[in-house]
Structure 1
Amino acid sequence: MAKYLAEERAGRPVFGLMGDANLGYLGAFMEREGGRYIAAALEGGAVSMGDGWARATGEVAVVSVTHGPALTNTLTALTEAARSRSGLVLLAGSTPEVNDHFQYVDIEGFARFAGAGFVKVRTPAELLPMLDRAFARAAAESAPVILDIPYGVLRAEIEYRAPRIPTLHGRRLLPDPESVDEVLGLLISAKRPLLVAGRGAVASGAREAILQLARAVNAPVMTTLLAKDFFDGEPENLGIHGTLSTPAAIEYMADVDIVMSFGASLNHHTTDSFALLRDRILIQTDVDPRAISGYGPAHHAVLADARAMAQALLDRLRESELETRRAIYMDVVAAAPHRESKDLYESTTGDGFIDMRDATRWLNSVLPEGSVQVSDVGRFVYSTWPHITVDPARWIYAGAFGSIGLGTATAVGAAAARDDVPTALYVGDGGAMQGIVELGTAVRAGLPLVMMVLNDQCYGAEYLKLKWFGSSPEQSFIDWSSFAEVAKSLGAHAVRATCMAELEPAAEAIRAGRFPLLIEVVADPGKVANRPGIVPMDD
């Protein structure tokens, strides 16, 4: 096991937490093979680290935990990884085969419940082939796979051989010619078309092909949250499609008759529960059949890679020698005021509190170019997502399962993937308290992590919903200890700010490379944005 992992990882990390099921090979992996092991404080944290590392690199991550409760502790993080399509091998193990072992759990059933794949080693001779199989499945399916290595085979002797994991080829699924002709006809005949790019378009490198297609068929471009800023700076760009859309985008979307998506699942947030696509012709392109009509009916579906589909449409248009004139509305879109603005709000900073929007824009401005940016989930996102600019290939959202608290460990994993630039995390106070223990992991591993805690001393969503149920929002308040002081106790650098001037020491720390760094921003819970910043705050 140790030698296999050392050869397969080739200096890349294994994340985990030791116990009876894995300490034997992890010890040998570090001592005998010189492997890189990052020990998490919690098993769920280890899986989130693997998730973040996989998303940051596009490669298969490796996580190792022990029996029973160690595995069940990973459930939320594993579900997040499964829903985010992260390639990850989770090495676990069945308990000793004795009657009614107190740590027994049905690992295969657990994997199915989390949405992960499952591979089991049944005999010592199967160990190496099943390792190969788990890694191949995780890569091919872009999904977590649990490998069950029973306790009973750990001390068995087998002859070693190197990993035999096939190199993955042929992931670019090409569209069939008939579908290309049909879709092109629809786009050319559209009165107001719109092209929407998702994470699949980012992964396939489809930016230029989609932009050229957009210009050829007179279609503005928009993105999902996961592809945020994919077309930033382009005259056709209208930003995020959905509940975070700008006024300029909303105005154009009102008259759209055909929407074509590339590598986007078109979830409820992207489509405002499908209201934004109702009464429009929807053309959906994706490599994953499960994404088609997942949240509402597509009129035309094409199973194809985003870049391949966009390029095929362009090539067919050129072959047809059809001439299209630039539509007047494209000039109107390009000239729309505040089309790409990130400052469409009125600041509430003052009286000992910082507007979260000011804080997130500030951090975004002081990060070095190429920094990885990670977001937890919570009410604070309305103060973050519309107001920062990201590289969509280095943008990670740890909220596919809607669980707060996964962001810190996810960011630790992303930071472990890159040491040339910082990884920045935006997290609310509730999520930070749930995950701050893994800041200690970043300290021990010496990782370039910047953790901005947007602290309004309450659970934000509950602050709002308590009102709906007729209760006082103060029931959501929690008098946390100072996050900055907790961070210092863990060995991190830390700054606590109640005004913008107090953020300057954090800027100096980032410039000097003093990491990990926690920045605690003190905010007024009554003045936190409850909707995108372009809309006046209300109840």
Structure 2
Amino acid sequence: MLVSELVGRTLHALGVEVVFGLMGSGNLAMTNALVASGARFYSSRHESGAVSMADGYARVSGRLPAVSVHQGPGLTNTVTALTEAAKSRTPLIVLAADTPAAQIRSNFRIDQDALVESVGAVPERVHGAATAVADVTRAVRRAQVERCTVVLMLALDVQAQEAELSEPPLLPALAPVRPGSLDDAVAALARAELPAIIAGRGAALAGAGPALRRLGDAIGAVLATSAVANGLFAGDPYDIGISGGFSTPLAQELLAASDVVIAFGAALNMWTTRHGSLIGPETTVIQVDRDEAALGAHRRVDIAVHGDARETAEALLAALADDGAVAAAARDAVATVAPGGVRGRRTPALAEEIAARRWRDEPYEPSHDWVDPRTLSIALDEILPAERIVSVDSGAFMGWPAMYLRVPDERGFVFPQAFQCVGLGLASAIGAAIARPDRLSVAAVGDGGMLMALPELETLARLRPRLLVVVYNDAAYGAEVHHFRPMGWPVELAQFPPTDFAALARAAGCEGATNDLDAVREWLKDPERPMVLDAKVDPDICAEWLEEAFRGH
């Protein structure tokens, strides 16, 4: 068989069951081979959409997808979504055709390896027929073990070589990074009176949620997540939600008052710490991460632990359960135990306060002339089924769904914001819907992002997933308007005539409605086709978190 066929068969044998992409002459053969082996193919209308679909699929399913693109412009069209996936450490494989080495004058020729490396993805290559199986296996292994986005280059002349069919080697079980010495962390946690746990995407990828809940119970901590790990502690009475700009006022109070903060797989950057304000000057900060370079990268860290989030949490639990270890750690300070044996800050009164001070419980002055994005989000939260996936695009609106729409777990929230690019949310939501057809998918997008992703509106109608698109439509690039208008700058160039997204949706083959939640309620009874809700939101409402985000910009 040809190398192109062998590559497709090998990928499927290694567990790649879903491939997204756009067909071109350079990638048709290997994509056909993947499909012939049993993989399912989903075509986007733009290569960026294909990568975003794969990104959303990987985040929700936990499985490794592939993306297939043509050489040259097929790869350059992926770059923005590829950057998001790479910065988010999403494990996926991009199959990119490439020009033969001898074709130095090809109009398709670019330095694909350098391009991929420049945006943080990992370039790999099939070198020839003799090494094809090993090359594919290496790429898959790197994506899984290093939790990274790999681009596997396949030059056209290499694809056309004849190769012998061979089976890929069995991949050994993934071995988590083992934590180093935990003595200092154990001592700090044993002394803590007001501890807090912040879990990031690294904790979600490691499956650390159950262990971190047990650790929180053991030390009496409140539980928070970064935005991308939203939902990891859903349902826990001491879950205070997202740490950062989207934090509730109560969460801000509790995090800032903590004497020990331990972060698992979370960057502790300015977004997660609200420019540092959520961590007190005297707080002991413990950071756990499998990426050694991430430890202390964004702020002062008192105790750094190089280790897998789940393994480290379990090791801490074991150490804290050891009477001797706790006694040694707490020799100079006795951990606070509230009346009734409650550890740390966990009291029934605090659990009641957390339940009563969600974002939807905070007062606000509603808009009367437009759709209020807060009122809209609260109403959507009430009518949508609990089993949902919320995918949020970037833009001035993005806090409203993150703050007001509940999700059942960490697989129920897709937040492609590592590159902070507008326009990736719709395709990410389509990929998430493909990954979990048992859940209703919701794409929360702004009007700017929806127009950037307009080619994928046809993809949405053609694939027909159970998906609701909510357009927070302020007819502007709202972040720029809210940032520059108070400074006296003219902002008319960032404002636009109104767009009728309901009409565009119907033209593409979806359902469409404008400012009509009753239409959404009816659609939910029998969502035969995807639906787009065009919500004409108040363009003058600027969220407090948005003002905070512009600090220093």
TM-score normalized with structure 1 length: 0.91
Instruction: Map 1:218-237; keep pairs closer than 5 Å.
Output: 218-237=220-239
Residue 524 of structure 1 is matched in structure 2 by: 538
Residue 308 of structure 2 is matched in structure 1 by: 305
Using the TM superposition, give the Cα deviation of residue 62 of structure 1 relative to its aligned residue in structure 2, in angstroms: 0.4
Task: Tell me, yes or no, if structure 1 residue 282 matches structure 2 residue 296.
Answer: no
Question: Quick one: distance in 1 between partners of 2:83 and 2:264?
Answer: 25
Task: Tell me, yes or no, if structure 1 residue 318 matches structure 2 residue 327.
Answer: no
Residue segments in structure 2 that go unaligned for 5+ positions in a row = 328-333, 340-344, 549-553
SS at 2:397 equivalent: helix
Task: Tell me, yes or no, if structure 1 residue 56 matches structure 2 residue 56.
Answer: no
The Cα offsets for residues 135-173 of structure 1, whole Å up to 9 and x where unpaired, read as 1211111111111111112332212223435143222x3
Question: Quick one: distance in 2 between partners of 1:165 and 1:149?
Answer: 23
Residues 215, 402 of structure 1: alpha-carbon distance in 2 compared, 3 angstrom cutoff: same
Identify which of 484, 505, 511 aligns with 2:502: 484
Question: Quick one: distance in 1 between partners of 2:234 and 2:196?
Answer: 16
Question: Quick one: distance in 2 between partners of 1:144 and 1:231?
Answer: 27
The Cα offsets for residues 183-204 of structure 1, whole Å up to 9 and x where unpaired, read as 1211222343222222233333
Residues 368, 251 of structure 1: alpha-carbon distance in 2 compared, 3 angstrom cutoff: closer
Using the TM superposition, give the Cα deviation of residue 482 of structure 1 relative to its aligned residue in structure 2, in angstroms: 0.7
Residues 522, 282 of structure 1: alpha-carbon distance in 2 compared, 3 angstrom cutoff: same
Question: Quick one: distance in 2 between partners of 1:29 and 1:312?
Answer: 41
Amino acid at match of 1:131: V
Using the TM superposition, give the Cα deviation of residue 246 of structure 1 relative to its aligned residue in structure 2, in angstroms: 2.0
SS at 2:81 equivalent: helix
Q: Is contact 1:493-1:514 (8 Å) kept?
A: no
Amino acid at match of 1:419: P
Using the TM superposition, give the Cα deviation of residue 475 of structure 1 relative to its aligned residue in structure 2, in angstroms: 3.4
Residue 420 of structure 1 is matched in structure 2 by: 438
Higher alpha-carbon deviation: 236-245 or 256-265: 236-245
Residue 411 of structure 1 is matched in structure 2 by: 429
Amino acid at match of 1:76: T
Identify which of 449, 452, 455 aligns with 2:467: 449
Question: Quick one: distance in 1 between partners of 2:414 and 2:17?
Answer: 20
Residue 327 of structure 1 is matched in structure 2 by: 338
SS at 1:524 equivalent: coil
Higher alpha-carbon deviation: 300-309 or 473-482: 473-482
Instruction: Map 1:176-215; keep pairs closer than 5 Å.
Output: 176=180, 179-215=181-217
Residue 440 of structure 1 is matched in structure 2 by: 458
Task: Tell me, yes or no, if structure 1 residue 19 matches structure 2 residue 24.
Answer: yes
Question: Quick one: distance in 2 between partners of 1:276 and 1:369?
Answer: 30
Q: Is contact 1:134-1:147 (8 Å) kept?
A: yes
Identify which of 328, 331, 336 aligns with 2:353: 336
Higher alpha-carbon deviation: 336-345 or 518-527: 336-345
Task: Tell me, yes or no, if structure 1 residue 72 matches structure 2 residue 76.
Answer: yes
Question: Quick one: distance in 1 between partners of 2:170 and 2:416?
Answer: 29
Residue 331 of structure 2 is matched in structure 1 by: none
Question: Quick one: distance in 2 between partners of 1:342 and 1:2?
Answer: 54
Identify which of 116, 133, 141 aligns with 1:136: 141
Residue 510 of structure 1 is matched in structure 2 by: 524
Using the TM superposition, give the Cα deviation of residue 35 of structure 1 relative to its aligned residue in structure 2, in angstroms: 4.3
Amino acid at match of 1:84: S
SS at 1:433 equivalent: helix
Identify which of 359, 370, 375 aligns with 1:358: 375
Q: Is contact 2:54-2:92 (8 Å) kept?
A: yes
Residues 169, 232 of structure 1: alpha-carbon distance in 2 compared, 3 angstrom cutoff: closer
SS at 1:527 equivalent: coil
Using the TM superposition, give the Cα deviation of residue 285 of structure 1 relative to its aligned residue in structure 2, in angstroms: 0.9
Residue 265 of structure 2 is matched in structure 1 by: 263
Residues 205, 70 of structure 1: alpha-carbon distance in 2 compared, 3 angstrom cutoff: closer
Residue 537 of structure 1 is matched in structure 2 by: none
Task: Tell me, yes or no, if structure 1 residue 400 matches structure 2 residue 414.
Answer: no
Task: Tell me, yes or no, if structure 1 residue 42 matches structure 2 residue 46.
Answer: yes
Amino acid at match of 2:261: V
Using the TM superposition, give the Cα deviation of residue 345 of structure 1 relative to its aligned residue in structure 2, in angstroms: 3.6
Question: Quick one: distance in 2 between partners of 1:532 and 1:150?
Answer: 45
Identity %: 33
SS at 1:384 equivalent: helix
Residues 24, 215 of structure 1: alpha-carbon distance in 2 compared, 3 angstrom cutoff: closer
Using the TM superposition, give the Cα deviation of residue 343 of structure 1 relative to its aligned residue in structure 2, in angstroms: 3.7
Identify which of 103, 114, 128 aligns with 2:108: 103
Q: Is contact 2:252-2:278 (8 Å) kept?
A: no
Amino acid at match of 1:114: V
Residue 148 of structure 1 is matched in structure 2 by: 153
Question: Quick one: distance in 2 between partners of 1:88 and 1:192?
Answer: 39
The Cα offsets for residues 470-491 of structure 1, whole Å up to 9 and x where unpaired, read as 2234432111431111111111
Question: Quick one: distance in 2 between partners of 1:135 and 1:76?
Answer: 22
Using the TM superposition, give the Cα deviation of residue 291 of structure 1 relative to its aligned residue in structure 2, in angstroms: 2.1
Q: Is contact 1:347-1:358 (8 Å) kept?
A: no
Q: Is contact 1:132-1:165 (8 Å) kept?
A: no
Q: Is contact 1:91-1:146 (8 Å) kept?
A: yes
Amino acid at match of 2:91: G
Identify which of 83, 86, 91 aligns with 2:90: 86
Question: Quick one: distance in 1 between partners of 2:278 and 2:364?
Answer: 27
Identify which of 437, 441, 449 aligns with 1:431: 449
The Cα offsets for residues 115-141 of structure 1, whole Å up to 9 and x where unpaired, read as 111112232333232122211211111
Using the TM superposition, give the Cα deviation of residue 274 of structure 1 relative to its aligned residue in structure 2, in angstroms: 2.7
Residue 246 of structure 2 is matched in structure 1 by: 244
Q: Is contact 1:108-1:118 (8 Å) kept?
A: yes
Higher alpha-carbon deviation: 410-419 or 204-213: 204-213
Higher alpha-carbon deviation: 57-66 or 459-468: 459-468
Amino acid at match of 2:82: L
Using the TM superposition, give the Cα deviation of residue 514 of structure 1 relative to its aligned residue in structure 2, in angstroms: 2.2
Using the TM superposition, give the Cα deviation of residue 3 of structure 1 relative to its aligned residue in structure 2, in angstroms: 6.0
Aligned residues: CA RMSD: 2.5
SS at 1:46 equivalent: helix
SS at 2:443 equivalent: strand
Q: Is contact 2:390-2:414 (8 Å) kept?
A: yes
SS at 2:304 equivalent: strand
Residues 344, 21 of structure 1: alpha-carbon distance in 2 compared, 3 angstrom cutoff: same
Higher alpha-carbon deviation: 267-276 or 49-58: 267-276
SS at 1:379 equivalent: coil
Question: Quick one: distance in 1 between partners of 2:388 and 2:10?
Answer: 29
Using the TM superposition, give the Cα deviation of residue 261 of structure 1 relative to its aligned residue in structure 2, in angstroms: 1.1
Using the TM superposition, give the Cα deviation of residue 378 of structure 1 relative to its aligned residue in structure 2, in angstroms: 0.9
Using the TM superposition, give the Cα deviation of residue 361 of structure 1 relative to its aligned residue in structure 2, in angstroms: 2.5
Question: Quick one: distance in 2 between partners of 1:490 and 1:443?
Answer: 6
Residues 319, 227 of structure 1: alpha-carbon distance in 2 compared, 3 angstrom cutoff: same
The Cα offsets for residues 313-360 of structure 1, whole Å up to 9 and x where unpaired, read as 222222216585533754353343633343424252433x21112222
Q: Is contact 2:55-2:90 (8 Å) kept?
A: yes
Question: Quick one: distance in 2 between partners of 1:29 and 1:188?
Answer: 53
**Alignment length, in residue pairs?**
525
